[in-house]
A and B are shown apart, each in its own frame.
Chain A
Amino acid sequence: AQKVTQAQTEISVVEKEDVTLDCVYETRDTTYYLFWYKQPPSGELVFLIRRNSFDEQNEISGRYSWNFQKSTSSFNFTITASQVVDSAVYFCALSDMFSGGYNKLIFGAGTRLAVHP
């Protein structure tokens, strides 16, 4: 069964600390996509990254980096030198390519990150 587990419910850090948000997934598909979304207090889920299962290169975008490891079915997200504006709920999601006839996304439960000044 397709499943996404974000074991960390809440994380609290002080500004400038590095923080890693964990994401572990289960899938029967050989081709799949992984995503991270950010949900600030305003409510909208904002797309951060999409990763194809065939591309295991890690990615860095400014203070954000993602570590994709197929061997451990993990797609972890690290924020370097965290800032108060990073406070949000972060969701990891997995594509379900072959059920239902549409591009289904399976979301994890989310990790609430609080960055304190």
Chain B
Amino acid sequence: ETGVTQTPRHLVMGMTNKKSLKCEQHLGHNAMYWYKQSAKKPLELMFVYSLEERVENNSVPSRFSPECPNSSHLFLHLHTLQPEDSALYLCASSQERTGVNYGYTFGSGTRLTVV
């Protein structure tokens, strides 16, 4: 496989469930990101991992818990979500290099519906 792969593509979960979103990148990048995209809203940066350390957490509720076990994998653990958390969750990766920005490579996203 190449690029950034996200699983599952679609997820329906109840408010009391616990589930995890998975992201895997095969590009040799050293930074990974979680974004949330709700209907009619801008892209919201949730978490950033650079060299497997979390470097940014944009006031995300604790019911979202990220995990980055190595530079190729990123997880988003979900528990006791609310219906307003229904959205497209996008993972991205990039190659960090001082003074240069190559942009991000995105996965296809996980469309989450909380019922």
Contact = CB atoms under 8 A, between A and B. Distances in A.
Interface of A: 31-33, 35, 37, 42-47, 50, 91, 93, 95, 97, 100-105, 107-110
B22 interface: no
Given A50-B103, A103-B101, A44 B42 contact: no
A111 to B, nearest CB: 12
Given A43-B88, A43-B109, A100 B56 contact: yes
A32 B88 CA distance: 28
A107 B102 contact: no
Interface string B66-101: 000000000000000000000010101010110101
Please classify the interface of chain B as helix (H, G, I), strand (E, B), loop, or mixed, using the class held by over half of its residues: strand
A75 to B, nearest CB: 14
Contacts of A33: 101, 103
**Size class of the contact patch on chain B:** 20 to 34
B43 A91 contact: yes
Contacts of A101: 50, 55
B31 A102 contact: yes
Nearest to B108: A44
Given A43-B90, A43-B109, A110-B42, A105 B56 contact: no
A103 B43 contact: no
